Amino acid sequence: MAACVFGFAASAQTDRTTVESMPTKDHHGKGRHHHGEWMKQLNLTKEQKAQLKVQHKEMKARREELKKQDNITVKEMREKQKAMRDEQRSKMDAILTPDQRTKMDELRKQKKAEHMSEKHNKTLEKGNP
């Protein structure tokens, strides 16, 4: 999974930046995490969007603080990042309705399948079966 399973409304330039206005391609030319598309598919309420935005900002600040820590090992960093992702997922799931959680699980499975397929294709390109 990505460094942040669901970093919804990443505000790279201003606080007014929304998921829908974020670039759809990363610097490698690949699609971003499709968060805007997922948010539309989940049919979130304004309140849910606001809650998720606050949650994302808090988690982003915590990730930035973690990056500044130079006195921890790579293993400790990865463990803390995983714990933060798990916490973020739990908080997000608490905001969603049961139907939205079901849909979110489906979307996560699709993304994981796409990721595994891409990984498999890269392996084949390198000549390793």
In order along the chain (129 residues), what is the average pLDDT of each group of 10 residues?
40 37 44 66 92 93 91 92 93 93 91 83 70
The structure tokens 């293993």 sit at: 75
DSSP label of 21 = G
- Asked whether the beta carbons of 23 and 3 are under 8 A apart, the reply is no
Collapsing DSSP states into helix, strand and coil, what is residue 80?
Answer: helix
Say if 121 falls within a structural domain. Answer: no
pLDDT value at residue 47: 95
Say if 115 falls within a structural domain. Answer: no
pLDDT value at residue 123: 74
Say if 81 falls within a structural domain. Answer: yes
Q: What's the pTM?
A: 0.59
The structure tokens 């990721």 sit at: 115
pLDDT value at residue 35: 65
* Contact partners, residue 108, CB within 8 Å, separation at least 6: 5
Domain range for 71 is: 19-110
Say if 78 falls within a structural domain. Answer: yes
Say if 83 falls within a structural domain. Answer: yes
Say if 61 falls within a structural domain. Answer: yes
- Asked whether the beta carbons of 60 and 9 are under 8 A apart, the reply is no
CA–CA distances in Å: residue 69 to residues 77, 81, 122: 9, 12, 34
Say if 125 falls within a structural domain. Answer: no
The count of domains in the chain is 1
pLDDT value at residue 16: 36
Identity of the amino acid at 15:
D
- Residue 25, strand partner residues: 31
Say if 117 falls within a structural domain. Answer: no
pLDDT value at residue 45: 93
Rounded Cα gap, residues 79 and 21, in angstroms: 32
